Amino acid sequence: DDFRDVYEKYFNNIWHICLAYMKNTSEAEDALQETFLDTYNTVRKNEMLFQVRMKNRGTKKYVHGFLLRQVMY
């Protein structure tokens, strides 16, 4: 599954960002789960738009930016 690949690739990076912001392991775990769940739901809901944006901006750069925006909100 493509999303599993994204999850495995960005898990550590997003985990460290969540932990840095939350400064609490339990809250960081919740934030991490919410980030990936929101990302998954957004991608599924807007799959065609997401694919176009990844093509135009580069998959790695777009996915990383998208996940970071999810963490911030």
Give the confidence band of 26 by pLDDT, cuts at 50, 70, 90: very high
Q: What pLDDT was estimated at residue 2?
A: 73
Q: What pLDDT was estimated at residue 62?
A: 62
Q: Choose the most confident range, by mean pLDDT, from 11-15, 45-49, 65-69.
A: 11-15
Position 50 pLDDT exceeds 70? no
Position 69 pLDDT exceeds 80? no
Judge contact between 19 and 28, C-beta under 8 A: yes
pTM for the whole thing?
A: 0.65
Average pLDDT over residues 27-52: 81
